[in-house]
């Protein structure tokens, strides 16, 4: 029996890799269940624009919706990594601190490329876990992060 992964980021990554091992970059319809199921509250989907600067959020889970606020740094942190995902054709894990709903958070996110035709990256699937910073952790007004290519 396979142990159920409790952490959303690792669960989404494992499923994406299972599909990738079949020899193609996953399509949106192969990961849509993450956006619709119970994990959907912490998932998002970014449509990659004809120009990378035209990329935009098309699905944002309820727990992440406030990230689209212009004063929030979390949405900008995720969107700023889209060019790297597209150019490398690989996923990224991002860990760090950001501001979300005017509160400092510690987060881990995964951004994974999707391709409808098996070649062109047309969407990026994101999943993230986060928590408020604890009293001994230093809040910051700037985003700090570490990025790991998969």
The residue segments making up the domain with residue 14 are 8-149
Asked whether residue 93 is domain-assigned, the answer is yes
Asked whether residue 1 is domain-assigned, the answer is no
Comparing 14-23, 25-34, 73-82, 85-94, which segment has the lowest mean pLDDT? 73-82
Model confidence pLDDT, tens digit, residues 28-75 = 999 988 888 888 889 999 999 888 888 998 988 888 876 666 556 677
Asked whether residue 3 is domain-assigned, the answer is no
Q: Three-state SS across the chain?
A: CCCCCCCHHHHHHHHHHHHHCCCCCCCHHHHHHHHHCHHHHHEEEEECCCCHHHCEEEEECCCCHHHHCCCCCHHHHHHHCHHHHHHHCCCEEEEEEEEECCEEEEEEEEEEEECCCCCCCCEEEEEEEEEECCCCCCCCCCCEEEEEEC
Asked whether residue 15 is domain-assigned, the answer is yes
Asked whether residue 75 is domain-assigned, the answer is yes
CATH number at residue 31: 3.30.450
Asked whether residue 51 is domain-assigned, the answer is yes
Asked whether residue 114 is domain-assigned, the answer is yes
Asked whether residue 2 is domain-assigned, the answer is no
Residue 141 zone, left/alpha/beta (φ > 0; ψ -120 to 50; rest): alpha
Residue 101 zone, left/alpha/beta (φ > 0; ψ -120 to 50; rest): left
**What pLDDT was estimated at residue 3?**
44
> Per-residue pLDDT for 15 more than 50?
yes
Model confidence pLDDT, tens digit, residues 124-138 = 999 998 888 888 776
State how many domains the chain has. Answer: 1
């Amino acid at each position: 029996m396979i142990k159920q992964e409790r952490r959303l980021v690792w669960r989404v990554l494992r499923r994406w890799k299972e599909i990738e091992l079949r020899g193609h970059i996953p399509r949106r319809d192969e990961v849509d269940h993450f956006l619709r199921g119970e994990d959907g509250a912490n998932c998002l989907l970014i449509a990659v624009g004809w120009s990378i600067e035209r990329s935009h959020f098309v699905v944002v889970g309820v727990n992440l919706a406030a990230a689209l606020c212009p004063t929030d740094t979390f949405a900008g942190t995720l969107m700023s990594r889209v060019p790297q995902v597209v150019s490398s054709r690989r996923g990224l894990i991002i860990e760090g601190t950001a501001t979300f709903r005017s509160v400092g958070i510690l987060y881990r996110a995964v951004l994974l490329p999707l391709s409808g035709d098996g070649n062109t990256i047309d969407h990026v699937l994101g999943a993230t876990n986060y928590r408020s910073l604890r009293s001994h952790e230093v809040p910051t007004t700037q985003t700090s992060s570490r990025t790991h290519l998969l």
